[in-house]
């Protein structure tokens, strides 16, 4: 213990309070070098001060803890640039919202920025969004707890959890609340706020109605924020429903599952190909309904040129691999036909669960 720093001394050197340090340790982000077995007192190594200061800087930049952990393991300048772009976009969206609020109140000086940006976008800045969807209870179930919403620029899917009627109620309530709350200028902040309202609505309903106790739902949504030669999207997710982007025949997953098996994959204990058959595949670590407010993961991918988006519940991904999904999405059919073909694929491969899909062409 002689070369180690007490938690008080480490807090003073790092700029992080003892309370914050305990929280980071619980999250596995900044674990003490030693813990006294009798007193439970925590000690840190001097070389952990640099790591603690790095975490402090990233938190000041409002980087989520879940992303900080991965960045520390694999520092990447591209990730820093992405975070900078996200901050720039957030600032611009907030300025535009304030400018439009001024315009709404008739304060011409306040709305100059938003008007200037709109006037300089030009007619070629419009992106056409064509969407198709399909949902099916599957071959093994009689009820469908999956639901979806198409309300451009918002698209979302939800997979209800819990015994009937809880699952159907949770997924529909989440989507209805999300749609009602996502109003005004489409921004990442607005999408995150709408997710929080949906989360609270599901939790409150389950808490006040004994017949629905324990219900919950996943929720994954995409909002088109910016149109033009580079389309900017906001992708938000809670649970294991997914969003994908296919472009030039390549399928890219835009979301990360909040599940026990995903944690095992991250730890190297399970391969990505083994998750479909894992006995704990359905155990989630995050879902609407487990707490008054559950925070979503938010990403802001850019899309250049024509692309196709897929939102789907795990009824599809548990039954079909990436190659099968890519083949359908890269085919000649319109979004509606592609959505129907994906449902048929899931059912032909077993159809053990409800499935909901949305396909969007940009």
The whole-number average pLDDT for the span 275-289 is: 88
Let me know: does 353 contact 144? Beta carbons within 8 Å: no
Query: What interhelical angle do 48-60 and 7-14 show, nearest 10?
Result: 50
Residues 6+ apart with CB under 8 A from 162: 170, 212, 214, 215, 216
65-106: per-residue pLDDT in tens? 778 888 888 888 888 887 887 777 666 666 666 665 665 565
Q: Residues 6 or more apart from 176 whose CB is under 8 A from it?
A: none
Q: Residue 8 pLDDT > 80, yes or no?
A: yes
State the average pLDDT over residues 7-35: 83
Label residue 149 by pLDDT band (50, 70, 90).
very high
User: How much is the pLDDT for 110?
Assistant: 35
Asked if pLDDT for residue 310 goes beyond 50, the answer is yes
Looking at residue 117, its pLDDT comes to 34
Whether 209 has a pLDDT exceeding 50, the answer reads yes
Of 60 and 339, more confident: 339
Domain 5-73 has CATH 1.10.1660.10: yes
For the chain, the domains span: 5-73, 77-120, 125-361
- How far is residue 113's CA from residue 216's CA, in Å, rounded to a whole number? 42
Confidence at 159, pLDDT banded by 50, 70, 90: very high
Using pLDDT thresholds of 50, 70 and 90, give the confidence band for residue 335.
very high
pLDDT at 121: 38
Q: Rounded mean pLDDT of 8-24?
A: 82
Please tell me the predicted confidence (pLDDT) of residue 123: 37
Q: What is the predicted pLDDT for the residue at 119? A: 34
Place of tokens 């305990």: 22
Judge contact between 287 and 239, C-beta under 8 A: yes
Tokens linked to 72 = 């520390």
Residue 115 burial by Cβ neighbours in a 10 Å radius (0-12, 13-18, 19+): middle
The mean pLDDT of the chain is 85
How high is the pLDDT of residue 118?
A: 33
Q: What is the pLDDT of residue 21?
A: 86
Place of tokens 């180690």: 4
CA–CA dist 32, 45 (Å, integer): 8
Q: How far apart are CA 239 and CA 313, in angstroms?
A: 10
Q: Which two tokens stand for residue 279?
A: 């006995």
What are the tens digits of pLDDT across the range 117-138?
A: 333 333 344 456 789 999 999 9
Quote the CA–CA distance of 7 and 184 in Å, as a whole number: 46
Beta strands in the chain (DSSP E): 5-6, 34-35, 42-44, 130-136, 146-151, 154-161, 216-217, 219-226, 230-238, 242-247, 250-253, 297-299, 302-304, 308-312, 355-361
pLDDT of residue 108: 39
Cα radius of gyration (the chain) = 23
- Look at the domain 125-361 and name its fold: Phosphatase 2c; domain 1 (3.60.40)
Crossing angle between the packed helical segments 322-329 and 335-348, to the nearest 10 degrees: 150
Residues facing 358 on adjacent strands: 133, 311
3-class DSSP state of 298: strand
Strand-pairing partners, residue 247, are 250
pTM higher than 0.85, yes or no? no
| pLDDT confidence of residue 55 | 86
Are 240 and 285 a contacting pair, CB within 8 Å? no
Which helix (H) or strand (E) segment is 106 a member of?
Answer: none
Residue 169 · residue 212 · CB < 8 Å: yes
Identify the CA nearest to 157 among candidates 217, 245, 84, 232.
Answer: 217
Percent of the chain's residues with pLDDT above 90: 46
């Amino acid at each position: 213990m002689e070369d180690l720093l007490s938690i008080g001394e480490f807090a003073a050197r790092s700029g992080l309070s003892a309370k914050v340090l305990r929280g980071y340790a619980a999250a596995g982000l900044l674990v003490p070098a030693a813990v006294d077995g009798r007193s439970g007192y925590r000690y840190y190594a001097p070389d952990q001060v640099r790591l603690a200061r790095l975490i402090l800087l990233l938190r000041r930049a409002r980087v989520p803890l879940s992303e900080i952990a991965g960045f520390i393991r694999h520092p990447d300048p591209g990730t820093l640039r992405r975070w900078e772009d996200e901050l720039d976009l957030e600032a611009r969206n907030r300025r535009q919202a304030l400018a439009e609020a001024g315009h709404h109140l008739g304060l011409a000086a306040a709305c100059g920025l938003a008007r200037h940006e709109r006037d300089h976008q030009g007619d070629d800045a419009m992106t056409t969004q064509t969407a198709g969807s399909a949902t099916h209870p599957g071959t093994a179930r009689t009820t469908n707890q999956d639901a979806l919403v198409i309300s451009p620029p918002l698209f979302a899917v939800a997979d209800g959890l819990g015994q009937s009627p809880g699952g159907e109620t949770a997924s529909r309530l989440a989507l209805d609340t999300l749609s009602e709350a996502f109003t005004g200028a489409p921004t990442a902040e607005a999408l995150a706020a709408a997710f929080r309202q949906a989360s609270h609505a599901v939790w409150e309903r389950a808490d006040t109605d004994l017949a629905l106790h324990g219900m919950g739902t996943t929720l994954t949504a995409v909002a088109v924020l910016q149109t033009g030669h580079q389309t900017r999207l906001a992708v938000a997710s809670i649970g294991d429903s997914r969003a994908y982007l296919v472009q030039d025949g390549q399928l890219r997953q835009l979301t990360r599952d909040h599940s026990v098996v995903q944690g095992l994959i991250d730890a190297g204990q399970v391969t990505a190909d083994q998750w479909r058959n894992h006995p704990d595949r359905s155990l989630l670590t995050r879902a609407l309904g487990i707490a008054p407010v559950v925070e979503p993961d938010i990403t802001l991918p850019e899309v250049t040129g024509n692309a196709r988006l897929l939102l789907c519940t795990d009824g599809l991904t548990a039954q079909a691999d990436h190659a099968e999904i890519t083949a359908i999405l890269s085919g000649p059919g319109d979004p509606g036909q592609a959505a129907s073909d994906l449902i048929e694929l899931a059912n032909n491969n077993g159809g053990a669960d409800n499935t909901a899909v949305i396909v969007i062409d940009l």
